[in-house]
Structure 1
């Protein structure tokens, strides 16, 4: 598996599982928060990049 696929798998299993999200925006924020939480726990730096619509 590609390293990003492994991270996505853990993010889904550990940070996002069991959450009922109302829409795509809530999913996006949940992923951002999950990446941040996972990064802090593992002592990795994370950077949020904002794309224009």
Structure 2
């Protein structure tokens, strides 16, 4: 399993389990908060990286 799959498994069983979201943004913020909380519990740093979505290919 890839490391991200393990994190997703923890999020599904924890922070997002049984929740309903009004939109994708609310879901995204819940995932971000869950990853940060997991990092704090595991005593490791997390960093959010924002990709430039305005670039033209």
- State which structure, 1 or 2, has the greater radius of gyration over its C-alpha atoms: 2
Any residues of structure 2 matched to 1:6-21 within 5 Å, and which? 6-21=6-21
Task: Give the TM-score of the pair, scaled to structure 1.
Answer: 0.84
Post-superposition offset of 1:15:
1.5
Length, aligned pairs only: 53
> Structure 2 stretches of 5 or more lacking a match?
none
Give unpaired runs (5+ residues) of structure 1. none
Greater share of helix: 1
Structure 1 residue 45: Cα displacement: 0.6
Alignment RMSD, CA only? 1.2
CA offsets, 1:4-33, max 9 Å, x none? 111111111111112211011111101100
- TM-score, structure 2 normalization: 0.79
- Does 1 or 2 have the higher relative contact order (CA < 8 Å, sep 6+)? 1
